[in-house]
Amino acid sequence: MVTHPTRLTPPVQCVPLHDPESRLEGVIVIHSTALGPGAGGCRFWSYPDMDRARADALRLAEGMSYKNALAGLPLGGAKAVLRRPEGDFDRARLFHAFGKAVAELRGTYVTAEDVGTSVADMQDVARATRHVAGLPARDGRAGGDPSPWTAQGVFESIREAAAFALERDLGDLTVAVQGVGHVGADLCRRLAEAGARLVVADVDPDRCENLRALHGAKVVDVDAIVGAEADVFAPCALGGVLDARSAQRIAARLVCGAANNQLARPEVAETLRRRGIAYVPDYVANAGGIISVSAEYLGEDAADVGRRVAAIAPRVVALLERAAREGRSPAAVADDLAEEVIAGARRPATAA
Ligand code: NAD
């Protein structure tokens, strides 16, 4: 086990994963356990080397600590990142091997789906450990693919943030969605049903074509989506999309999407604020999925998930209000609030 110091909770645990037989290679990063077991999904993606996989896992795990804290969940932050092997591999075997690694952590890490993984993969993980969620739901209990809950929270956040920051209704807005996978496509459906016009881009052209056929979405090149003429920009692909360059190109006045780690660097939030663009911190808007995962892991009902997801959009508006009042970026305000929650959990209770 390797440890890395970070701003929030040194030391962070990095658990390397290496099993040549199943072709499992990656890392589990447990960033914080102050509020409960470290929880966060398992990403399965093509990384050129382990250094980049580890760097991604560290940032994603930190984001989970902040997300879980602000969503009021009894969970710390963690993430698994697995390198997708080149050529043929036995997927079920690889995820079973990953499950064995999760089991060895004895509940300090709880896994679920993320980019590149599915309910079927989590079922393979579950053959080796009970510390997994995102499994098929039963009898009104929480569970299943968390992405519809993520899409619901992002959709409601866009609707309420647009009413607050742009003073406009969805029926009057164009939304540019970057990445139309599990969350992005579901978000597009909800936006189209509410009357919004869509501009979409994805590296997989078939996914865009579906949305053009179903909802009349305008399809643009992946390089054009950031600067597309739109009122709202919704990043729903991978992280790092908001950097010094793209922050100057964004045409939209509101940024709110599902992708984790949208800010390539924290100071980009301030650039957006100075340009008059309202940025909804990713981990506040996209908490629906982990709310579902948490409820499933704790044996709660789907109705509990619905109640907590419904609280996301009001939290977003309160954050935008406070940021405007204090003349700060919403990202800076959210980080402070999350750090207070985590620090509070670490302080010993004092007698009344
Ligand atoms: P997904 O893999 O189903 O979809 C991602 C989509 O982005 C894919 O269609 C992919 O082709 C596309 N894409 C990748 N690179 C792109 C690029 N450069 N330009 C345009 N499109 C690109 O993943 P998902 O589950 O929909 O998650 C999307 C994002 O939301 C991720 O950042 C994920 O971490 C985050 N997120 C997801 C959930 C969830 O419940 N699934 C919860 C919280 C956060």
Ordered by start, the domain boundaries in the chain are: 2-63+75-126, 147-287+313-339
Q: What is the pLDDT of residue 325?
A: 97
For residue range 120-166, list pLDDT tens digits in order. Answer: 999 999 999 999 999 998 888 999 999 999 999 999 999 999 999 99
The answer, yes or no, to whether residue 310 has pLDDT greater than 70, is yes
Tracing tokens 């406009």 back to the chain, one arrives at: 168
Q: What percent of the chain has pLDDT over 90?
A: 92
* Ligand 1 contacts CB of residue 9 (under 6 A): no
Say if residues 310 and 296 touch (Cβ distance below 8 Å).
Answer: no
Q: Do domains 2-63+75-126 and 147-287+313-339 have the same CATH topology?
A: yes
* Ligand 1 contacts CB of residue 205 (under 6 A): no
Q: How far apart are CA 21 and CA 39, in angstroms?
A: 27
3 falls in which pLDDT band (50, 70, 90)?
very low
Protein residue with least CA distance to atom 41, ligand 1:
147
For residue range 27-71, list pLDDT tens digits in order. Answer: 999 999 999 999 999 999 999 999 999 999 999 999 999 999 999
Q: Which residues pair with 201 in a beta bridge?
A: 178
For residue range 215-265, list pLDDT tens digits in order. Answer: 999 999 999 999 999 999 999 999 899 999 999 999 999 999 999 999 999
- Is CATH 3.40.470.10 correct for 2-63+75-126? no
The answer, yes or no, to whether residue 6 has pLDDT greater than 60, is no
Strands, E assignment, the chain = 2-4, 12-19, 24-32, 38-39, 42-45, 76-83, 109-110, 174-178, 197-201, 218-219, 232-235, 254-255, 278-279
Q: Which residues are catalytic?
A: 79
Q: What percent of the chain has pLDDT over 70?
A: 95
For ligand 1, the distance from its centroid to the CA atom of residue 348, given in whole angstroms, is 39
* Ligand 1 contacts CB of residue 175 (under 6 A): no
ipTM for this model: 0.99
For ligand 1, the distance from its centroid to the CA atom of residue 149, given in whole angstroms, is 14
Pick from 81, 114, 117, 292 the residue to mutate for probing ligand 1's pocket: most ligand atoms within 8 Å of its CB: 114
Q: Which CATH number describes the domain made up of 147-287+313-339?
A: 3.40.50.720
